[in-house]
A and B are shown apart, each in its own frame.
Chain A
Amino acid sequence: MTTKLMGQGIQRVEDQRFLRGKGRYVDDVHADPATLHAAVLRSPHAHARIVDIDVADVLEIEGVHLVWTYEDLGPLSAPMGEPLPLLIPHPDLTQGRTQYALAKDEVNHVGEAVAFVVAEDRYLAEDAVGRIKVTWEVLPPVVGVEAARAADRLVHEDVPGNIGARSEQKTGDVEAAMAKAPHRLELDLDIERSACTPLEGRGTVARWDPDVNRLQVWSSTQTSTGVRAAIAVKLGLDLGQVDVITPDVGGGFGVKVVHPWPEELLVPLAARALNRVVKYTEDRREHFISSSHERGQIQHIEVGFDDDGRLLALDVMFWHDHGAYTPYGLIVPIITSTQLLGPYKPEVYRVVYESLYTNTVIVTPYRGAGRPQGCFAMERTMDAIAEYLGKDRTEVRAVNFIQPDEFPYDQGLIFQDGRELEYDSGDYPASLEKIKELIGWDEFPAFRAEMAAQGRTVGIGLACYVEGTGVGPYEGAHINIETTGKVKVATGLTTQGQGHATVFAQLVADELGVKFEDVEVVTGDTRRMPYAVGTFASRAAVMSGSAIHLAAKRTKEKVLKIAAEALEADEADLEIVDGVVSVKGSPGASMDLATISVLSNPLRYAFDEASKAATQFSVGDPGKPPVAEDDEPGLEGKDFYSPERATYASGMHAVIVETDPDTAEITILKYAVVHDCGHLINPMIVEGQIHGGVAQGVGGALFERMAYDESGQLLNASFMDFLMPFVTEIPDGIAIDHLETPSPLNPLGIKGAGEAGVIPGSAVFASAIEDAERIPITAMPISPSELFTLRALHAETPTTQERPA
């Protein structure tokens, strides 16, 4: 038998084109040498009314083809005059608001799209944008959660209190449980905004073909099918008239799942209006001020516990900053509120949140999607309990773990997919043992003493999380075995660097018994697979992986049926090895997949020698129809996978930091990860995902923040000023160990792995810095100057976690 590829660190097939500069990202698409280029006029104000827009000068500029403001859109397509879709409605989102493709009357954040220009090249288009004159009536902005809560100014006049949604979930009577608890603590926590910031920004290219009334769109998106549906609705086209192709994508991390972006509608609309190919490529400043951010929350936690640290009552209230609009609904705060519980089982839990409007960039899921905040809340609470009781932080966690024999475990809440938050599998005590071993938890006191003797300050931190991955509703796959014997696989979700072409080919090679090199995978092309959801929420491997596995099974069934007839053998006696079907034990009786593919399609015409063998005059029983009633021509298999609910990956991170006694610089000495995503398809790729996630977690904990001033200007909208980790900022080597508790929910026993690395970042660093400094750390990210200030404050008035009266 061929060696099984699942579980092997196969080198990625897609690397060959990337390494040679042959990748095709949207801005590389060269659909037409006469392509026109778009640029967008963006609001310079956080909150303002548009009194007048004067575009008179613009069309006179040589090389400018089109300039649009809001007034121009409705006449071209009535739905374009309506606000953009609210993609994920929720009953608690009583005051949902979305922007217009181009601002109508009012803008609500710096960067909101106001006018759209198409010209011969991007330089000219930007020149033209600079000539548009807007008369503004500037309004007072609402910046930050505190300002939104104060509500003495409103973002949207008709939204009282700036409250877009107020939501509550509970599992029992929290007041009664709290009152009975022997010990109680309260914590106030704060996390700032960060953002996905993929190296490639957004981009869209569109071509309208008037000969067939069809639109072809390339977009750097995490959901080709979503973009397709949105464009069809907004441009008044049938779904069948729109093809969306997602070529290589230069990173997503969540921001590219928001759709449609205004430019994803304006570019196709302009392509149709001008009958020319039109391209838009976002620049870096635009990405900072007109795409999306995440993370900003303020949290208040009350916890009641017993002498062992067991959670008897957990009462959480948080205020979530969702920015100026809510196109992606409440996904982020729902995830925070539910995934906050992690591997623990409080006896009673209540969570209330308010999702608030501010005059800042919209907030939508960023890798981890609300979980880093939830993990921060829960793990800070665990550390506070340990501190209060004078217990080891790992002991307090261990007494609260859901035990391995308690799965499936229902947390009694509703998750982001509208299903029960029911964990499928896991083994948290085993993970804890592994992480303690990896980081050297028990040896740390000796290390600390050794360092102290040298005048050095070190601290150790730990954080645990559970991540709902592989949410539905479904994904599908189509497999076609060509008459060359090559296997073509199409799945509709997209790829942004996760190695899908490799891992999916591994699954197909295993199931079909073909060579890995003979499998080619296509993602994100609605022409090849029009039914799909998208790549986000660590769902691709679980969803498309399962669908591909099922489709391969179907294809194999057909292969064996045809081969059994041709070889006059029983299907059960056949095996496929390296693309050759043979009767087990009779090597002479065999047939390759190319031949079976030819036989699967009874032909009218012979194109070549192979097809000659398949003409209706050469094959089959002349007494029967060439294609049987229950059959189809071709060697294809299609299937869909739709799970009952999400799978729950889990993990634990630990870090040892050193803090400089003079400069308060925070140095990472050691970082360790234990990760359970069920069965691994390709450990090399999973570990790559963890490395990348940890780097983003380090960024979120120590560096990244969106520095808004009081007027709502983003002061650090460039890579000069927004600090993302370079190699110099990340740990030199991450210790990783895996645990594999297979998910019972899918045929491969897998769980998602994409976001795990980033989730505990702020929690684990806060824990370690607090341990080093003996000062409560309640706000992240934390810079050296902030730590320095905290030290000074603490020296003045020593603070401890609030104790009950």
Chain B
Amino acid sequence: MSAQDTVRHGEQLHLIRLRVNGIGHDVEVPARRLLSDALRHDLGLTGTHVGCEHGVCGACTVLMDGKPVRACLIFAVSAVDAEITTVEGLTEPDGSLSPVQQAFSECHGLQCGFCTPGFLTTITAGLNENPCPTHEEAREMIAGNLCRCTGYQNIVKSVERAAEITQAKEAESA
């Protein structure tokens, strides 16, 4: 029986391969399954959080081919050709914190931690594009994500600190 013939609870399933954090995963999902649910519940990568399911809060932000996207607004079946990075994939190869993660820890950029994965992925992409943001650009970089705990001040500080850490690391390795 081919994958296309699989039916569960009256719903046709699609066998897809999702590439997440450099690893391929085969999952069978209905066409309507959200990428956020597939990541969380089918792959067990629960670091990606769901805060609103209508694309506003940004807690579910993951990187698709390096660009931040709302995992709650994408069907899993439409992510097959992409390289997805979730918060679990942000750490350095040796398991240490990435500059953005490190900066959040240093600057108290999180409280309950629920929105944090979305901020981390968003800022990671933002700094890739603009490694030396001005203060205003740092604020703008996070302007699409909601946080109810921190009042953002320390998140902005984290963006600036992450840029510093990255630059210091690059200077070190140069």
Identify the A interface with B (CB < 8 A): 11-12, 14-25, 27-28, 30, 61-63, 120, 122-124, 196-200, 248-251, 253, 283-284, 496-499, 684-685, 687-688, 690-696, 718-720, 724, 726-728, 730, 732-734, 757
Give the residues in chain A near B86, CB-CB below 8 Å: 21
Do A20 and B54 form a contact, CB below 8 Å, given A199-B115, A688-B111, A734-B153? no
Complexed CA–CA distance, A199 and B60 (Å): 11
Complexed CA–CA distance, A164 and B22 (Å): 59
Report the minimum CB–CB distance from B16 to chain A (whole Å). Answer: 17
Report the minimum CB–CB distance from A516 to chain B (whole Å). Answer: 15
B53 and A250 contacting across the interface, CB-CB below 8 Å: no
Give the residues in chain A near B45, CB-CB below 8 Å: 21
- Per-residue interface assignment for chain B, residues 53 to 92, with 1 indicating a CB less than 8 Å from any chain A CB and 0 otherwise: 1101101000000000000000000000000001110110
Which residue of A690, A727, A732 is within 8 Å of B155 (Cβ)? A727
Give the residues in chain A near B91, CB-CB below 8 Å: 20
Complexed CA–CA distance, A15 and B112 (Å): 9
B142 — nearest CB in chain A belongs to which residue?
A727
A198 and B113 contacting across the interface, CB-CB below 8 Å: no
Which residue of B49, B59, B139, B153 is within 8 Å of A691 (Cβ)? B153
Pairs A–B under 8 Å by Cβ, sample size 18: A14-B113, A17-B113, A18-B110, A19-B116, A19-B120, A25-B46, A62-B9, A198-B112, A200-B49, A248-B114, A284-B52, A284-B53, A498-B111, A691-B153, A695-B150, A718-B52, A724-B148, A732-B156
B151 and A726 contacting across the interface, CB-CB below 8 Å: no
Give the residues in chain A near B88, CB-CB below 8 Å: 20-22
B112 — nearest CB in chain A belongs to which residue?
A497
Report the minimum CB–CB distance from A134 to chain B (whole Å). Answer: 24
Report the minimum CB–CB distance from B160 to chain A (whole Å). Answer: 12
Give the residues in chain A near B46, CB-CB below 8 Å: 21, 23-25, 27-28, 30
Give the residues in chain A near B148, CB-CB below 8 Å: 196-199, 251, 253, 692, 695-696, 724
Q: Which 3 A-B pairs have the closest CB atoms?
A: A21-B47, A497-B112, A250-B114
Report the minimum CB–CB distance from A540 to chain B (whole Å). Answer: 13
Complexed CA–CA distance, A62 and B49 (Å): 29
Complexed CA–CA distance, A496 and B111 (Å): 8
A692 and B149 contacting across the interface, CB-CB below 8 Å: yes
Complexed CA–CA distance, A24 and B113 (Å): 10
Give the residues in chain B near A11, CB-CB below 8 Å: 105-106, 108
Complexed CA–CA distance, A15 and B33 (Å): 31
B47 — nearest CB in chain A belongs to which residue?
A21
A727 and B156 contacting across the interface, CB-CB below 8 Å: yes
B33 and A23 contacting across the interface, CB-CB below 8 Å: no
Identify the B interface with A (CB < 8 A): 8-10, 30, 32-33, 37, 40, 44-54, 56-57, 59, 86-88, 90-91, 97, 101, 104-106, 108, 110-117, 120, 135, 139, 142-156
B32 — nearest CB in chain A belongs to which residue?
A123
Complexed CA–CA distance, A764 and B27 (Å): 54
Report the minimum CB–CB distance from B116 to chain A (whole Å). Answer: 5
Q: Identify whether the interface residues of B are mostly helix, strand, loop, or mixed.
A: loop
A199 and B114 contacting across the interface, CB-CB below 8 Å: yes
A693 — nearest CB in chain B belongs to which residue?
B151
A198 — nearest CB in chain B belongs to which residue?
B148
Which residue of A16, A28, A757 is within 8 Å of B105 (Cβ)? A16
A734 — nearest CB in chain B belongs to which residue?
B153
Give the residues in chain B near A727, CB-CB below 8 Å: 139, 142-143, 152, 155-156
B108 and A685 contacting across the interface, CB-CB below 8 Å: yes
B112 and A691 contacting across the interface, CB-CB below 8 Å: no
A719 and B149 contacting across the interface, CB-CB below 8 Å: no
B106 and A499 contacting across the interface, CB-CB below 8 Å: no
Complexed CA–CA distance, A724 and B56 (Å): 11
A730 and B152 contacting across the interface, CB-CB below 8 Å: yes
Do A250 and B113 form a contact, CB below 8 Å, given A21-B87, A123-B33, A692-B151? yes
Complexed CA–CA distance, A19 and B87 (Å): 8
Which residue of B9, B112, B143 is within 8 Å of A200 (Cβ)? B112
Report the minimum CB–CB distance from B137 to chain A (whole Å). Answer: 12
A62 and B10 contacting across the interface, CB-CB below 8 Å: yes
Report the minimum CB–CB distance from A747 to chain B (whole Å). Answer: 26
Give the residues in chain A near B114, CB-CB below 8 Å: 23, 25, 198-200, 248, 250-251, 497
Give the residues in chain B near A497, CB-CB below 8 Å: 110-114, 149
A250 and B87 contacting across the interface, CB-CB below 8 Å: no
Which residue of B9, B112, B117, B151 is within 8 Å of A251 (Cβ)? B112
A691 and B47 contacting across the interface, CB-CB below 8 Å: no
B87 and A199 contacting across the interface, CB-CB below 8 Å: no
A62 — nearest CB in chain B belongs to which residue?
B9
Give the residues in chain A near B49, CB-CB below 8 Å: 25, 199-200, 250
Complexed CA–CA distance, A12 and B116 (Å): 14
Report the minimum CB–CB distance from A295 to chain B (whole Å). Answer: 16
A688 and B150 contacting across the interface, CB-CB below 8 Å: yes
A30 and B44 contacting across the interface, CB-CB below 8 Å: yes
Do A21 and B151 form a contact, CB below 8 Å, given A62-B9, A284-B53? no
A692 and B111 contacting across the interface, CB-CB below 8 Å: yes
Give the residues in chain A near B97, CB-CB below 8 Å: 19-20
Give the residues in chain B near A61, CB-CB below 8 Å: 9
Complexed CA–CA distance, A120 and B41 (Å): 13
Give the residues in chain B near A14, CB-CB below 8 Å: 113
Complexed CA–CA distance, A11 and B107 (Å): 8
Complexed CA–CA distance, A480 and B135 (Å): 47
Complexed CA–CA distance, A267 and B91 (Å): 36
Complexed CA–CA distance, A196 and B148 (Å): 9
Complexed CA–CA distance, A718 and B57 (Å): 10
Give the residues in chain B near A27, CB-CB below 8 Å: 40, 46, 50
B150 and A726 contacting across the interface, CB-CB below 8 Å: no
Give the residues in chain A near B152, CB-CB below 8 Å: 691, 695, 726-727, 730
Do A18 and B108 form a contact, CB below 8 Å, given A23-B47, A198-B148? no
B54 and A718 contacting across the interface, CB-CB below 8 Å: yes
Complexed CA–CA distance, A24 and B44 (Å): 12
Which residue of B48, B104, B139 is within 8 Å of A15 (Cβ)? B104
Report the minimum CB–CB distance from B90 to chain A (whole Å). Answer: 8
Complexed CA–CA distance, A604 and B150 (Å): 52
B51 and A726 contacting across the interface, CB-CB below 8 Å: no
B144 and A726 contacting across the interface, CB-CB below 8 Å: yes
Give the residues in chain A near B51, CB-CB below 8 Å: 199-200, 250, 284, 719
Do A19 and B57 form a contact, CB below 8 Å, given A28-B46, A726-B143? no
Do A688 and B154 form a contact, CB below 8 Å, given A21-B45, A199-B147, A497-B113? yes
Report the minimum CB–CB distance from B62 to chain A (whole Å). Answer: 11
Give the residues in chain A near B150, CB-CB below 8 Å: 688, 691-692, 695
Complexed CA–CA distance, A728 and B145 (Å): 10
Complexed CA–CA distance, A197 and B147 (Å): 10
Report the minimum CB–CB distance from A499 to chain B (whole Å). Answer: 7
Which residue of A18, A28, A690 is within 8 Å of B116 (Cβ)? A18
Report the minimum CB–CB distance from A42 to chain B (whole Å). Answer: 16
B105 and A718 contacting across the interface, CB-CB below 8 Å: no
Which residue of A21, A687, A726 is within 8 Å of B48 (Cβ)? A21
Report the minimum CB–CB distance from A773 to chain B (whole Å). Answer: 26
B59 — nearest CB in chain A belongs to which residue?
A199
A196 — nearest CB in chain B belongs to which residue?
B148
Report the minimum CB–CB distance from B165 to chain A (whole Å). Answer: 14
Give the residues in chain A near B87, CB-CB below 8 Å: 19-21
Give the residues in chain B near A123, CB-CB below 8 Å: 30, 32-33
Complexed CA–CA distance, A730 and B146 (Å): 12
B151 and A730 contacting across the interface, CB-CB below 8 Å: yes
Complexed CA–CA distance, A496 and B149 (Å): 9
Give the residues in chain B near A28, CB-CB below 8 Å: 40, 46
Most buried by A among B59, B113, B120: B113
Complexed CA–CA distance, A105 and B10 (Å): 34
Give the residues in chain A near B10, CB-CB below 8 Å: 62-63
Most buried by B among A21, A248, A687: A21
Give the residues in chain A near B116, CB-CB below 8 Å: 18-19
